Chains A and B, each alone.
Chain A
Amino acid sequence: MTGVSTLSSGDSRIISSAAVEPADRGGRAAAALVAPMVAAACALLLHWGLPSRQSPLPTRLYPMLLAGLLAAAVVLAAVHRAWPRLRPWARHNAPLLAGGIGVLAAWDLITLKLALMPLPYFPGPDMVLVGMVDDRGMLLESAYHSLILLFTGYFAGVAAGLASGILIGWFRGVRYWGMPVLKVIGPIPATAYIPLVMALFSNAFVSGSALIAMAVWFPMTMLTASGVANVPVSYLDVARTLGAGRRYLIFRVAVPAAMPSIFLGLFMGLCTAFLTLIAAETVGVRAGLGWYLKWQQGYVEYAKVYAALIIMAAFFSGLMTLLFAVRDRVLGWQKGMIRW
């Protein structure tokens, strides 16, 4: 009897709170969804309403971008209304969109409108957009070259790091000789090898990818080895009583158990690979985003420098997101979600 009464009182509390909350939450959701529209409208008014104090005078590209963002905000609100399943997604992204538009407007304000930052080093958003559109062929080609170089070096480094990491992690003898080598040469930044690599390989692509591979190899080896060496003995014992041989123990037990650690190595390797890629492209390689950056800097074309930086940001964060997606898929067996 008491159980029933507690239950019903609990129910009524839930009902009453449910009656209050949706209005409040709905109001907040509406505000969140309207925010990007308001931000885009304000940015447009600001751009058209205030006189420009820098030359050249702005083109129509920046207003077109803002109009596009305004349209995106409207689409987001429509999605929120029409598609209940995407509602949390829309609600999550609306404030971020508004914030992004706010940053654009602030940038426009302190450069073109108020001329607080000196040209040619700090062009406004319109100039950067113009640079990006004018040089789109070159930028795409540079991004393509960077991607090829990055992938060649990264995958070579990952493969080498996995192999040496498994050997060092599993075999005592290899660990004895391998660890000192790793400890001595590992911490040297790969870019310090630029003179050596350039002397070894006459081909700039080969030397560039070798450099990236070296940069990736170290964290990959370190983290694979520690993951493999720290596999719980109980898993190995179980596998041995199931009739497992060495191959099974290494590739079906030790390596899968080391996967969380291996993914840490993949992330750290990707970060050092970006760093080394840009460094390699600014010295030897005559193509790619790093090279483009340096080249445009030489001509004091800062609008194009920023354009290249924006492309680079999109390109690198895209690859990171991809790796995160792969990790979430491969490590789906882990309890809970790892957050880093």
Chain B
Amino acid sequence: MSQLNGDATIDDGSSLSLSDVAKFYSSADGSRVHALHGFSLSVAAGEMVSLIGPSGCGKSTLLRLIAGLDRPESGALRVGDAPITDPSAERGLMFQDPNLFPWMSVRRNIQAGLVARGVLHRRRREVDEFLRLVGLEAFADHYPHQLSGGMAQRAALARALINHPKVLLLDEPLGALDQFTRMKMQDEVLRLWRARGTTMVLVTHDIDEAIYMSDRIVVVSPRPGRVEIVIDVALERPRLRNSQPFLKLRAEILDLLHFAGGGSDEAVESAAGRFRGRQS
């Protein structure tokens, strides 16, 4: 994959750089809640990065900021050389809930991005390709309420991909699926990632998923969310979920998250220090 990363030019709008990003929310009693504070991260073009961390650490907020759905209070978000100001078809977003439009058939859902940009007439053929890609040809005319959870999520994936986004943001997209469907979908996403060189940022609660999928794992600390530590996953692809290195990395991350979740600052620091030593 490093080959692919090296080939991609830096300015083609598929690398991300976040520097010193802060985002607040006002809670019901009027006080301000820090969702993110001083968050900095660079994602290379074509890279697959996972964000893990406890609930409420601002991971989803971060994806919304990258997507352009929200604005930060301070700091800069850039895609390629351009600052992120608005949502764009260049940056696709997939939620845990498939959020298919219930009044549209599967086909209409998948082609929504083409219709929205007024290019359906030129690219109608692609809709069939994407239906085939996610294995839903037979369900093209079904409505979302007639689909299983996995099928709905595959349709949402096709809908997010039909615009050929340079960056795909995945907010726990597989979290609601059963174990088998999830593993299948992970391979599916990896296959698409490899085939297209799309930059992907994946928010997940599942450590196995993070290790299985990503080039780097970013551990995010809670309240306010910021980068705790970045772990390079130097395992060869395709990865084996039960290989020794995989399980070892998994144990180390679990160890780290235990401290990051409830331990003292020194304990977190020392665990993080052990990691940095090993990684460098």
- Which A residues are closer than 8 A to B by beta carbons? 234-235, 237-245, 248, 252-253, 256-257, 259, 332-335
Contact = CB atoms under 8 A, between A and B. Distances in A.
Contacts, number: 73
B145 A245 contact: no
Contacts of A333: 102-104, 143-145
B112 A239 contact: yes
21 contacts: A234-B99, A235-B101, A237-B93, A238-B99, A238-B159, A239-B112, A241-B69, A241-B87, A242-B92, A242-B112, A242-B159, A243-B113, A243-B163, A245-B116, A252-B112, A257-B103, A332-B143, A333-B103, A333-B145, A335-B102, A335-B145
Contacts of B87: 237, 240-241, 243
Q: Name the interface size band of chain B.
A: 20 to 34
Contacts of B122: none
Interface of B: 64, 67-69, 87-89, 91-93, 95, 97, 99, 101-104, 112-113, 115-117, 143-145, 159-160, 163
A40 to B, nearest CB: 45
Contact of A238 (B95, B103, B144): B95
Contact of B95 (A234, A243, A244, A259): A234
B115 A252 contact: yes
Given A241-B89, A241-B91, A243-B89, A259 B117 contact: no
Contacts of B88: 241, 243
A242 B163 contact: yes
Contacts of A245: 116
Nearest to A233: B69
A5 to B, nearest CB: 30
A242 B103 contact: no
Nearest to A260: B103
A314 to B, nearest CB: 33
Contacts of B116: 239, 242-245, 248, 252
Which one of A234, A238, A239 has the greatest number of beta carbons of chain B within 10 Å?
A: A238
B115 A248 contact: yes
B93 A241 contact: yes
Contacts of A235: 99, 101
Given A237-B69, A237-B93, A333-B143, A242 B113 contact: yes
Contacts of B95: 234, 238
A335 to B, nearest CB: 4
Nearest to A257: B103
The 5 A-B pairs of least Cβ separation, nearest first, read A243-B89, A242-B113, A244-B116, A240-B87, A335-B145
